[in-house]
Amino acid sequence: MEKQIVISVSPYNHKYYFEPKFNDIPTEIKEELAEAIAAIAEKVNAIISVGFNEDGQIFIDQTADEEIFVDEIGAALEIKRLQKDKAELLKSLQLWYMVYRSEQGQIVKEIVLMQSQGKTTEDLLDIIEEKYGLEGRTFAQALLN
């Protein structure tokens, strides 16, 4: 899996692109993220993108048109400020990813569902192992202990 961009904001045409496959991110998170990223993009005159790395960690990148001056030092400082000032927002986005897009999140959802159906712990672990392998079983076991 490659980097997956969630949102990119361009100060050049005053538009943003939100990746449709992430439309299920809560509206409040999308709106606050778009607003914060747009402010940085305008301030430093660069395209700012937020997304997830292969391991599910959030990344924030800046790129620019080669013919336009970009304050790269300012961009780095603004991105660091965003990471500090909007830590809760980024934490919410990370949590959303872990729950809804990661294999571990899928396992957690399946455990909750199977527990509500009255499955025994051993049956539950067997089903998880069959579906996700020994790593999945080990993860589920750690959650259940």
Residues 102-125 have pLDDT tens digits of 989 999 999 999 999 999 999 999
| pLDDT in the model for residue 79 | 93
| pLDDT in the model for residue 1 | 61
Whether the per-residue pLDDT at 67 is higher than 90: the answer is no
Return d(Cα 97, Cα 136) in angstroms, integer. Answer: 18
Residue 101 CA, chain-centre distance (Å), reads 9
Return d(Cα 116, Cα 35) in angstroms, integer. Answer: 39
pTM: 0.78
Residues 6 or more apart from 111 whose CB is under 8 A from it? 124, 128, 140, 143, 144
| pLDDT in the model for residue 14 | 86
Residue with tokens 């800046």: 62
| pLDDT in the model for residue 31 | 96
Whether the per-residue pLDDT at 54 is higher than 90: the answer is no
pLDDT over 70 percentage in the chain: 97
| Collapsed DSSP state (helix, strand, coil) of residue 28 | helix
Confidence of residue 72 (pLDDT cuts 50, 70, 90): confident
Domain ranges of the chain: 4-100, 103-144
CA angle 29, 35, 37 (to 5 degrees): 95
Tens of pLDDT, residue by residue over 20-32, are: 999 999 999 999 9
CB atoms within 10 A of CB 6: 22
